[in-house]
Structure 1
Amino acid sequence: MHKVMTRTAQRHSASRPPTRRDTRRPGGGPSRAQGGAGPSRTAPAARQPAAVPQPRPTDLFADRLLLVLSGQRPVHAMLRHTAGRAYDDLVRLAEHGPLRVRGPRPVVRDIGYCQPRPGAIEAFARVGTGDRLRAMAFRLELGRDHRWRCTAIELGGTRTERNPDDD
């Protein structure tokens, strides 16, 4: 039989760490020294953090399309973000590598858009590579699952030629 010896700590105020007196506690509640672990009725209400602004879908899609057309991302990265013939158009555009350049990477300089009807956005982006500007236009439509998908894309004002056998 083993005998366990225990010592009880003496409760001197000098041996105990100081209690926290910070009023910025999560939940705005009183410190443990004041009793109670949760917020009290007299404590001020905790402030809700300001809502973080979400980027517009046009900004997100312009960046995604630019990454694919410049060769920084594979075309299949846009597969779940496209609908209809837009993926086929994107594949044709990416094959030619219109934004693949040596030197500075292309960047989106400006984005504009209009809403022809609720749930549809037609957007354009000015893409700059060094001192050269190109135009990119695309259409976004809101699906039944409340996600935006690209349904059309054009680059540089020329529409990609479709093969009549694809119809």
Structure 2
Amino acid sequence: MTATHGTRRPPGRTDARRPSRTALAAARRGARERLPHYWFAHRLLLVLSGLRPVHTLLGHTNDTAYDQLVRIAPLAPLRAAAAGRPAAAPVLLQVGCATPGPGALEAYARIRSGDRTRAFAFRLEQTGSRWRCAAVELDVRPVG
């Protein structure tokens, strides 16, 4: 009697040559997060929620957008305010963009901040091989 090898798989085992669904989802998520508008939305969220200093975006913004962020960031407008509890970090729910012309992206992000859904928008412009933020808009206005 000879055994046949490789004709049947044990139950619950997947084909080793094919990536799992979670691996494929992780690869898609990684590719998406390398897109300029996803990348910048995440960094902007960290700055506007007070988790990172504004200077971390210094090389990724033009002068006008950086000046906007210098005025807005100290207010931490996207920090989740929870009475009597430590604030949870805000979470990106959705990021989208439009291409109004070559070398420009107008993007938006919806975030969950505590029990509120918030929004911000920004414009990225390509200079050479780099994308830089040219403007930032929030659903709140800074004082002053």
Amino acid at match of 1:153: V
The structure with the greater share of residues assigned to helix is 2
Aligned to 2:92: 108
Q: Please say if 1:149 is aligned against 2:132.
A: yes
Aligned to 1:128: 112
The structure with higher relative contact order (CA 8 Å, sep 6+) is: 2
Runs of 4+ in 1 over 4 A off after TM superposition: none
Unaligned runs of 5+ in 1: 1-50
Amino acid at match of 1:53: A
Aligned to 2:103: 119
Task: Tell me the percent identity.
Answer: 52
1:19-58: CA deviations, max 9, x gaps? Answer: xxxxxxxxxxxxxxxxxxxxxxxxxxxxxxxx98362111
Unaligned runs of 5+ in 2: 1-26, 82-86
Does the 8 Å CA contact 1:136/1:157 hold for their aligned counterparts?
no
Q: Please say if 1:53 is aligned against 2:31.
A: yes
The structure with the greater share of residues assigned to strand is 2
The alignment covers a number of residue pairs equal to 110
Alpha-carbon separation, structure 2, partners of 1:68 and 1:125? 14
From the CA coordinates, give the structure whose radius of gyration is larger: 1
Aligned to 1:46: none
Does the 8 Å CA contact 2:50/2:74 hold for their aligned counterparts?
no
Does the 8 Å CA contact 1:114/1:121 hold for their aligned counterparts?
yes
